[in-house]
Structure 1
Amino acid sequence: MPDVSPPRVWSICAVLIVVIAGGAYLSLTSGMFDLSLREIVQTLLRIDPVREHDLVIFDFRLPRIVLSVLVGAALGMAGTVFQGVTRNGLADPGILGINAGAGMAVVLFMFFFQGSVQIQGWLAVMMMPMFGLVGGFLAVVLIYLFSQQHGRLDPQRMILVGIAAASGFGAVTLYVSLKMNPNDFEMAVVWLAGSIYNANWKFVVTLLPWLILMPPILWWKGRVLDLFQLGEDSALSLGVHVEREKKVLLGCSIGLVAASVAVSGSVSFVGLIAPQIARRLTGVNHGAILPVSGLIGAALVVWADFIGKTIFAPAELAAGIVISIIGVPYFIYLLMKMKR
């Protein structure tokens, strides 16, 4: 597919922002305590503020929406990088076991340190992404060790190794979670499902630095991702330091995934679906795919969270489960398409 013009890319981004705004509006107004647009505007602008409205908007709904946008954008851009580096349209942080590795590390942190006297409050929240980062890097190291063939990364073997690694990390996570007390176990299970329901401003502040630092680096390296599509030998002949660039790109992507998993749990398939849709909309230029994929990921998580909290109200369905309901059939569709 040929690349689209920059004005077309801006138009696509504008439409996606409208889609995200629509989901955010419905999330703000709908719920156990419905609010009108006028009441929301008055609360946000501090015009005759009402204590109940402040509580609902600023303490519950707004941080949930902001966190959904940040998590979706992070996973969408990370998935684009993984697919670009491996030249495999099925590569995804969840399928490759990176989500599972980061999730295992965070559950270990919750089991050993959460609620301890030494680590509480902001320190506990800020340390969770660091544990997730370690788990994500552990997953990548295992994938690199077992996916290489003749000194090169084999994309097909990478998928199989990722599935195996995800199963192993998932088993460790389940074992550790079963050792928790009932309250912590319930929290861990809900968190592992990819839920945004316990979002707060601490989680937003924790994730925000990763979204400020990493995406500009990835966007700057967009041309390198374009060259990777020609093959590693061709990229090397064009002066690209292939292994060094891989480490930078994967390191930034793992940071985004790990930070997202630490605050929202394992939201799968966003990193698979968003880049695929973005590539069909913009072509093969990663300078355009990355921002569009981030916006598509944000829209997916915002709408999935809204559907999950309203369709079975007063019960809630985790956003990760809603996206998986969409993602599994789409994954099967991609597999069948690749066989043709």
Structure 2
Amino acid sequence: MNQQKQQKQQVRASLVFLFAMALSLLVMYISITNGSFDIPALDVARTLLRLQSVEQYDLIIFDFRLPRIVIGASVGFALGTAGAVLQGITRNQLADPGILGIQSAAGLAIVGYMFFFQGTLKGIGWLSTMMMPLFGWVGGLIAALLLLIFARQQGVLDPQRLILSGIAFSSGFGALTLYLSLKMDPQDFEMATVWLSGSIYGASWEQIAALLPWIILLVPLIWMRAHILNLLHLDEVTLSGIGVNKARERMVLLLCCVGLIGASVSVAGSISFIGLIAPHIARRLVGIPYKYVIPVCGVIGMLMVLLGDLIGRTLFTPVELPVGIVISIIGVPFFIYLLFRSKNKHS
């Protein structure tokens, strides 16, 4: 009976994954063919397959639209996966890279890098771009370690303290980021402000090269440890009895999670609420097991960023709204709803 139930769950998870992927591909198709300059689908296909070479089409597709689509899909997948991991290791369904301050810390580290070091590396553009995810990882790691220290109560991670500490750290890191950005040149300040709002407007192939290695390395590592995320919901005595080192496993998963967040922030700024919303949708659709939740979270996150960017780019023309703001408009009411639901459960 259990085996039959597992098979049904696996089929359901596969169908949900494929459906979300199909929707993502549809949004990609609309994004690459539509905009201030529409390109017929046949011409897009010919340009991508190099069956024709029209300078205008090459510029629009390969320099503007395609890098933006790839960055949006990659960042969405990374943040959706990271959100599932954070909620698993903290056992808190309100955990999110933005709410916990990890994104703010990564943003602070990257703005600090832009302020202190980027000018000296401007002559080597690719090195400058490749270094940014590393700084984001270090900043996110510092925030994660501070959370683990301050959110503990009697040696146990307290969900309420975690959220409160995360909000406090996020405000503090955000204030420091603003202070540093105000010290920048006007041109750099404008670029940093747009970037911090969560924008993939200036996406480039260099940024894709900086982001993809983190996703290719860390997402499979997280998925291979999906069973550990399931076990982390058990109590300490049970975990010790089956030989699981809870502290070590949590730290490994946290490092992977912070790596994905730092790399995403380095190319797209702070896009909040993806890591909060995607796991909730995934659990409702495929259940609790993380071997199903993680890939579905990733593809739902991908769809959210692609759709948010399409809406921000087309709905408000000629003004372009950053994808981070579009998603926040949806995410804030959703977070308030989750807070009220959590409060009602505990009352």
Q: Which bracket does the TM-score occupy, shorter chain normalised?
A: over 0.9
SS of residue paired to 1:101: helix
Structure 1 residue 215 corresponds to structure 2 residue 231: no
Does the 8 Å contact 1:2/1:284 carry over to 2?
no
1:6 shift after superposition: 1.3
The answer for the alignment partner of 1:278 in structure 2 is: 282
Does the 8 Å contact 2:312/2:323 carry over to 1?
yes
Q: Which has the higher mean CA deviation after the structures are superposed, 67-76 or 228-237?
A: 228-237
The answer for the alignment partner of 2:294 in structure 1 is: 290
1:313 shift after superposition: 1.1
Q: 1:59 aligns with which of 63, 67, 80?
A: 63
Structure 1 residue 42 corresponds to structure 2 residue 46: yes
- Which ranges of 4 or more aligned residues in structure 1 deviate by more than 6 Å? none
Does the 8 Å contact 2:136/2:266 carry over to 1?
yes
Q: Which amino acid aligns with 1:189?
A: T
- What is the distance in 2 between the residues matched to 1:2 and 1:334? 29
1:87-236 matches, within 5 Å, as 87-116=91-120, 120-236=124-240
1:231-310 matches, within 5 Å, as 231-310=235-314
SS of residue paired to 1:48: coil
**Deviation digits for residues 156-195 of structure 1 (CA, Å, limit 9, x no counterpart):** 1111101000000000000000001100000000000000
Q: 1:233 to 1:92 in 2, by over 3 A?
A: farther
**Deviation digits for residues 304-335 of structure 1 (CA, Å, limit 9, x no counterpart):** 01111111112110000000000001001111
TM-score, with structure 1 as normaliser = 0.97
Q: Give percent identity, aligned residues only.
A: 53
- What is the distance in 2 between the residues matched to 1:233 and 1:272? 29
SS of residue paired to 1:5: helix
- What is the distance in 2 between the residues matched to 1:61 and 1:15? 23
**Deviation digits for residues 239-282 of structure 1 (CA, Å, limit 9, x no counterpart):** 21100001100000000000000010000000000011001111
Q: Which amino acid aligns with 1:8?
A: R
Please list every run of 5 or more consecutive structure 1 residues that lacks an aligned counterpart in the other structure: none
1:42 shift after superposition: 1.1
Q: Which amino acid aligns with 2:267?
A: V
- What is the distance in 1 between the residues matched to 2:168 and 2:12? 41
SS of residue paired to 1:125: helix
RMSD after superposition: 1.4
- What is the distance in 1 between the residues matched to 2:202 and 2:13? 34
Q: 1:90 to 1:117 in 2, by over 3 A?
A: closer
1:234 shift after superposition: 2.8
Q: Which has the higher mean CA deviation after the structures are superposed, 2-11 or 220-229?
A: 2-11
Q: Which amino acid aligns with 1:182?
A: P
Q: Which has the higher mean CA deviation after the structures are superposed, 3-12 or 278-287?
A: 3-12
- What is the distance in 2 between the residues matched to 1:226 and 1:258? 25
Q: Which amino acid aligns with 1:179?
A: K
Q: Which amino acid aligns with 2:144?
A: V
TM-score, with structure 2 as normaliser = 0.95
1:232 shift after superposition: 3.7
1:112 shift after superposition: 0.8
